[in-house]
Chains A and B, each alone.
Chain A
Amino acid sequence: MSKQTKYLLYGTTLLIVVAFLSLLWGQYHIDVATFIEYLQYKFVGNANMDASTFSLIDNIILEIRLPRVLLAILIGASLATSGAVFQAMFVNPLVSPGILGVLAGASFGAACGMLISNHWIVVQTLAFIFGFIAVGFAITIGSMVTNSRSTVMLVLGGVISGSLFTSLLSVIKYVADPYSTLPAIVYWLMGSLSMAQLHEVLLAAIPISFSLFGMVFMSKYFDLLSLGDEEAKALGVNVTLVRIIAILLATLASSLSVVMAGIIGWVGLIIPHIVRMAVGPAHRLLIPLSAIIGAAFLLLADAISRLALSVEIPIGILTSLIGIPIFIIVLKNARAAWN
């Protein structure tokens, strides 16, 4: 078994275990024995369980927890993968969808969408368009001062782009109806997986999976692009095409995550670093494993957000609280991870 298959297998096992536990954990705790009885009742039909308990558990698992678990997997995978892709595209280990302003741009776009229409396709399209504008703006500023790719300038460009769209979002909040639209926008932006509806999650899963698989399939080119454009071209890569498609896919995945669950920061920055420290920088493994570990991380964070206090903590706040100390450790070990 190759090293790559081995790590992917470990990662997938971890993800399945965490996903399974997430189905059981919650305010109403379901133990494993009850869950097995539930499955027996549902699929085999022998009644070790009374009908009312069954319908309660059935309701909790299918209506409440399953959509939430699926959404956490999709969003964790989206953010971590697009973070890894952005880091490869800009040969810059300090960028992420959050730092490049994509999340801010997408949230502005989505809020615009909510203001003018309730249709999901309008909201998703505007989120994607403004997410893309935001990253474009960050790149433009980042390359304005120096022609060469400067790590710090791009981060600065992202900070500027992010705060521009945060300001624009404030304008939307200001004009939004304070009794209906405003609170909806505010709670949504804090980041939450609690609003997940199964059919919406499945609908969003189509474009998100498309971009995730696209990024995984392109991953061997990311190694070459990180050597610099000239070397990548000489090795036979159509650099411009790969870069444009990769940035579009990463922007699509991270923008849709904003539409589905608001701004969930730090996942896109720390997960690629942690995975890179564990398995090295080769993107054939880094990209799919970031998706798996990102999904598992967000599931765990969501479990904590549900269980830690009697009220639910918005998950965006929680990922920041977890992400910041982890990133400080990552920065301390930065040399080891990057060099």
Chain B
Amino acid sequence: MELRPVIDVKNLHFSYKKHQVLAGVDLKLYKGEIISLLGPNGCGKSTLIRLILKLLRGNGEILINNKDIEKYSHKEIASRIAYIPQYNNTPFNYSVMEMVLMGRVSKLDYFASPSAHDFEIAKNALKKVGVEHLKEKAFGQLSGGQKQMVLLARAIAQEVDTFIMDEPVAGLDYGNQIRLLELIHELSKQGYTFLKTTHYPDHALLISSRVIVMNDGKIIANGTPDKVITKEMIQDVYSIKADIIVHDSHKRCIPIFQKNILNKGF
């Protein structure tokens, strides 16, 4: 039996005011994968995830569980895919618990309020990402790393197994970046599927099962991290030099300054 993709994007085009953002993108996301979507600013990766979430409409075909996205309501998409946006503040400062409960809305009837069962699920989701102690805190007062964890807990409370993340480590301090990557890896082992955009080839090497590279609205590379993340690709896409080294039998990507300014003193 052939494995069916959770998300299947076929020949997707999208233009914003005559400016072509996506020029024929194909992407398949299979259960259990962690796909890292790499590419420079403006390459169309954020647009692509917005199209997959039906936040934008493009030309082409997007299938979710083998059914056309046009046949899904937002509620139906939300009960299959969770979106973890980059955190930002709202004028109304909800508690962490309220924030996580919002992930339950797609599961509730139209006029129903969250029940004790929903509270329990929200609490367990917070526990799963290790921030249960924050549940009474106000979301706005949390650090960037904590906010990202809470949004991840909200996605878990949505009770879906496919997560789409938009630059999850953006704005996080060094330690929180690594802790978040570890958590994503841990959740992936528990059966969650991830599609995430990132600006860090090294992060893609660390935790992806597959890397897709976009440039100018097209996919230019798609494969295992080892094969895709090469000096040549970094040069092509970002116009900088990088070295791929092996550390602890794992490939890592480190950037190199164009001019040899290191170790020259100041």
Given contacts A224-B102, A227-B102, A339-B140, contact A233 B91 (CB under 8 A): no
Contacts of A218 in B (CB 8 A): 111
A220-B108, A223-B98, A223-B102 known; A236-B78 Cβ under 8 A: yes
CB pair A226–B91 under 8 Å, yes or no, is: yes
List residues of B (66-83) whose CB comes within 8 Å of A's CBs: 73-79, 82-83
Determine the chain A residues whose CB is within 8 A of the CB of B114 once the complex forms. Answer: 220, 284
| Of A184-192, A275-283, A291-299, the one with at least 4 CB within 8 A of chain B | A275-283
The answer to whether A233 touches B54, judged by C-beta atoms less than 8 angstroms apart, is yes
Interface string of B92-125 (1 = CB under 8 A from A): 1111001000110110100101100000000000
A91 contacts chain B at the CB level, 8 A cutoff? yes
Report the contact-size class of chain B (Cβ under 8 Å from the partner): 20 to 34
| Of the residues A221, A233, A282, A339, contact of B53 by C-beta under 8 Å | A233
Q: Is A235's CB under 8 angstroms from B94's CB?
A: no
In the complex the two chains form, what is the Cα distance from A151 to B90 in whole Å? 12
B111 in complex: contacting residue of A217, A223, A228, A237, CB < 8 Å: A217
- Contact size class for A? 20 to 34
Q: A220-B114, A223-B102, A284-B113 are in contact. Are A234 and B85 (CB under 8 A)?
A: yes
How many whole Å from B46's CB to the nearest CB in chain A? 11
Most buried by B among A224, A227, A238, A276: A227
Q: How far is the CA of A228 from the CA of B75 in the complex (A)?
A: 16
Residue A177 lies at the interface, judged by CB distance under 8 Å to chain B = no
Residues in A with CB closer than 8 Å to B77 are 234, 236
Do B98 and A234 have beta carbons less than 8 Å apart?
A: no
Q: Is B90 in contact with A230, judged by CB distance below 8 angstroms?
A: no
A338 x B93 contact (CB < 8 A):
yes
Q: Does A320 contact B (CB under 8 A)?
A: no
Whether A231 contacts B91 by the Cβ 8 Å rule is: no
Q: In the complex where A220-B105, A284-B113 touch, is A234 in contact with B90 (Cβ < 8 A)? A: no
Residues in B neighbouring A221, C-beta threshold 8 A = 105
In-complex Cβ contact of B74 among A220, A223, A227, A233 (8 A) = A233
Chain B nearest CB, measured from A317 CB (Å): 31
Please tell me if A131 contacts chain B, counting CB pairs below 8 Å. Answer: no
Q: Is B89 engaged at the interface, CB distance under 8 Å to the other chain?
A: yes
B85-A226 in contact (CB<8A): no
Are the CB atoms of A231 and B83 closer together than 8 Å?
Answer: yes
Contact present for A280 and B94 (CB under 8 Å) = yes
CB contacts under 8 Å to A, within B43-78, are 50, 53-55, 73-78
A105 close to chain B: CB less than 8 A: no
Contact B93 A339 (CB under 8 A): yes
- Alpha-carbon separation in the docked complex, A339 to B108 (Å): 28
Q: Are B53 and A235 in contact (CB under 8 A)?
A: no
Chain A's closest residue to B50 (CB) is: A230
Residue numbers in B under 8 Å from A151 (CB-CB): 91
Query: Given the complex, which residues of A lie within 8 Å of B85, measured CB to CB?
Result: 230-231, 234
Within A220-252, the residues touching B (CB, 8 Å) are 220-221, 223-224, 226-228, 230-231, 233-239
A281 touches B94 (CB 8 A): yes
* A338 to chain B: closest residue by CB: B91
**In the bound complex, how far is the Cα of B154 from the Cα of A235, in angstroms?**
10
A113 at the interface (CB under 8 A from B): no
CB A250 to nearest CB in B, in angstroms, measures 17
Tell me how far the C-beta of A97 lies from the nearest C-beta in chain B, rounded to whole angstroms: 19
Pair B102/A235 contact, Cβ less than 8 Å: yes
State A226–B83 Cα separation when bound (angstroms): 16
Which of chain B's residues have a CB closer than 8 A to the CB of A109? none
Given contacts A231-B85, A233-B54, A236-B106, contact A226 B92 (CB under 8 A): yes
> With A and B bound together, what is the CA distance between A228 and B86 in angstroms?
12
Taking CB atoms, residues of chain B closer than 8 Å to A235 are 78, 83, 102-103, 105-106, 158
Q: Closest Cβ of chain B: how far from A196's Cβ, in Å?
A: 32
Chain B residues, CB < 8 A from A339: 89, 91, 93, 140
Residues of B within 8 A of A239 (CB): 74
Instruction: Tell me whether A314 is interfacial, beta carbon within 8 Å.
Output: no
Determine the distance from Cα of A227 to Cα of B158 in the docked complex, in whole angstroms: 16
A92 to B91, CA, bound (A): 7
Q: A93-B91, A235-B106 are known contacts. Are A220 and B78 too (CB-CB below 8 A)?
A: no
B7-44 CB mask vs A (1 if < 8 Å, else 0) is: 00000000000000000000000000000000000000
Contacts of A224 in B (CB 8 A): 102, 105
**CB <8 Å contact, A233 and B55:** yes
Which of chain B's residues have a CB closer than 8 A to the CB of A284? 113-114
Complex: chain B residue closest to A334, CB-CB = B91
> Of all chain A residues, which has the CB nearest B89?
A339
List, in ascending order, chain B residues with CB within 8 A of A231's CB: 83, 85
A–B pairs, 27, beta carbons within 8 Å: A88-B92, A91-B90, A92-B91, A218-B111, A220-B108, A220-B113, A221-B105, A223-B92, A223-B94, A226-B90, A228-B90, A230-B55, A231-B85, A233-B53, A233-B54, A233-B74, A234-B82, A234-B83, A235-B83, A235-B106, A236-B76, A236-B106, A237-B74, A281-B92, A282-B98, A338-B93, A339-B91
For the complex of A and B, 8 pairs with smallest distance between CB atoms: A236-B78, A236-B106, A281-B92, A234-B83, A236-B75, A217-B111, A282-B98, A233-B74
Beyond A230-B55, A233-B74: 14 further Cβ-contacts under 8 Å? A218-B111, A223-B92, A228-B88, A231-B85, A233-B53, A234-B85, A235-B103, A236-B76, A237-B105, A238-B74, A281-B93, A281-B94, A282-B98, A339-B89
